Amino acid sequence: MKVNKNIAWAEAFVKELVAGGIKYACISPGSRNTPLTWAFAQNKKIKKYVNIDERSSAFFALGLANRTGSPVALVCTSGTAAVEFYPAIVEAYQQRIPLVICTADRPPELRGTGTNQTINQDNLYKNHIRFFADVGLPDMTVKKISSLKKTAVNAIEICCFKNKGPVHLNFPFRKPFEPDNFTDDISSKTNSSLAKTIYKQPQYNSVIEITGERWFLNIVKKLKHMQRGIITVGPENYSDEFYNNVIKLSRILKYPILADGCSQLRFLPYSADKSSRQIHGISGGNNNIVCNYEAMFRSASFSEAYLPEIILHFGRTSTSKGMEDFYEKHSPLKIMINEEGDFFDPTRKGKSYKSSPSQFCKSIIEYFQMDKNLREDRCWLQPYLYANQLLEQLKHKILFNSRFLNEIRIINEILDSVPGNSSIMLSNSLPVRDFDYWASCSSKKLNIFNNRGASGIDGIISTALGIASVKKEPVFLITGDLAFYYDLNALLTAEKYSIPLIIILINNNGGGIFNSLSVSQYPDFLREYFITPHKLNFGKLTKAFGVNYSIVKKWSDFKELMRKAISKKNTSVIEIQTDAVRSLDLRKQYWEESNRLLNIFIKHSTH
């Protein structure tokens, strides 16, 4: 039979991806990637999203893969189109999110000749991928087809199991690309080789037994003798089993849980066991969850009076600046536990171990199960919970009762307005930090997403759209004005696919976070090179894309605008214009008052 070998080659590859579990593909148009695009387009088992902007498409794929836990294929043409994928690939690498990057390329003889749209794509992303292969030019021999399929299988297994994260496959093609423009006559044997798939689901044991490991037994020994400890839970998408187990572990060890705003742990509807469904309110209930720890770490008197001997840390690097400074200044034993054994400690003082966080907690619990009353919680745990309650009351008094529109109160206004089981995407810069500092514990179950791998402000809207594309329930994005501007063209995808994303746009007219940095003591320098006021009319820009837009004039408007946006079931932008300087003053007032409050607390609690 007659075939176009480029098309046949690409179709054989895509069939292997489908066999390996690929369900989604994000494609950017181009000429050189026509064979790949055709192969994905013809395969009915893959849901396709087409985005003319490669950078936006890659971040969309990132959000989609993060939400589903399923690998997503990315397709683009040759040249700088492939480079546009790079920022999202860096984020995927840092967060271990599975992406299969498929870049089309010019044939080898055109490289280095000045041919249009040709760059060196050999291992283009080498510092931020888990696997690379140039699959070579299409070849209709059974041997080469078999090699292509083995490469596809290897890429999927690495991406999803062996070393999670993005993988890159480079596809050189010679013209012609069109399916009816035949290049080869192939035998039935070759045709059969193209049609069949070789992928077999690998049998990986997700639960690795650790109870006999020397490192684990050493940790158990330390936990038995160290009564002054804390559990810190960093950003990550954990299982419900982990939430139950870490709360049980906290009760047994009598350690408080310092839950990052991006850990989901502040937003659980029940306690660890069904016998005590006590909602954890401002004191943390019986879940031992502390959310106001930033103030505690900023207080020298509190952090010194309640200096832990040991820290059990789960997940990625914590958002908290105070926690980072605390680790830098003091040297408690820090044990990091995560699925891949990755190292998350800027101070380089901790030790990292590879284990399922849930399994680790369960294994520790089993060792302590017969000795539940080993410790008193009065002298160590209770002061944390009580200080958390005092700080929560102060937060409500100073911040949440503020009348003017500010960047702090909006966090809990949003939390009050979103329905249970909603997903919230947090932009980097101020929004993610403010969420970590000010988001109170709630009995409303929420899923929190972020791009904290590399913490860039690029691709934020696109990532949120990828998250929101999975289900027809609204997803909420909290973003600053610069991140919004940076990814404005993503609104084209939002409108094209009618994705239910509600964007809360906090507009402080550029670079408000820099007011809180040391460089702010040089006001002229700050204004010229950091604040970058833009004076953009986001209403007009948003409406140009056909996206719903509204602006908050006073606090009483916000809940009604949120209700209307949710009912529309497509993309909406709700803008809140804030004064960065006044918001900073409010922050300073809280930090000063919280420090004074904790000094009084320490004075009374230690006498």
Domain boundaries, the chain: 2-178+189-195, 214-384, 405-578
Q: Which residues pair with 50 in a beta bridge?
A: 27
CA separation for the pair 73, 49 (Å, rounded): 10
CA separation for the pair 328, 335 (Å, rounded): 15
Mode of pairing for the β-strands spanning 184-185 and 2-3? antiparallel
Residue with tokens 């098309």: 7
Sheet containing 310-314: order of strands: 289-290, 257-259, 229-233, 310-314, 333-338, 351-354
CA separation for the pair 469, 462 (Å, rounded): 10
Nearest alpha-carbon partner for 377 in 283, 292, 442: 283
Q: Are 565 and 589 in contact (CB under 8 A)?
A: no
Q: Domain 2-178+189-195 is classified in which CATH homologous superfamily?
A: Thiamin diphosphate (ThDP)-binding fold, Pyr/PP domains (3.40.50.970)
* The two domains 214-384 and 405-578 share their CATH topology (first three levels equal): yes
* pLDDT score recorded for residue 606: 65
Report the top-level CATH class of 214-384. alpha beta
Residue stretches of the chain with pLDDT short of 70: 205-206, 270-286, 370-374, 511-512, 606-607
- In a 13 Å sphere around the CA of 229, the CA atoms on its Cβ side amount to 25
CA separation for the pair 289, 231 (Å, rounded): 10
Compute and round to an integer the Cα radius of gyration of the chain: 26
3-state secondary structure of 193: helix
Q: What is the identity of the amino acid at 479?
A: T
CA separation for the pair 254, 373 (Å, rounded): 10
CA separation for the pair 181, 179 (Å, rounded): 6
CA separation for the pair 276, 326 (Å, rounded): 34
CB atoms within 10 A of CB 605: 16
Q: Domain 405-578 is classified in which CATH homologous superfamily?
A: Thiamin diphosphate (ThDP)-binding fold, Pyr/PP domains (3.40.50.970)
Query: Torsion angle, CA of 557/558/562/563, rounded to 10 degrees?
Result: -50
* pLDDT score recorded for residue 41: 98
Q: Are 53 and 28 in contact (CB under 8 A)?
A: yes
Give the list of residues 6+ apart from residue 49 with CB closer than 8 angstroms, or none. 24, 25, 26, 27, 57, 60, 64, 469, 493, 497
* pLDDT score recorded for residue 374: 63
Give the list of residues 6+ apart from residue 281 with CB closer than 8 angstroms, or none. 441, 443
Q: Are 412 and 398 in contact (CB under 8 A)?
A: no
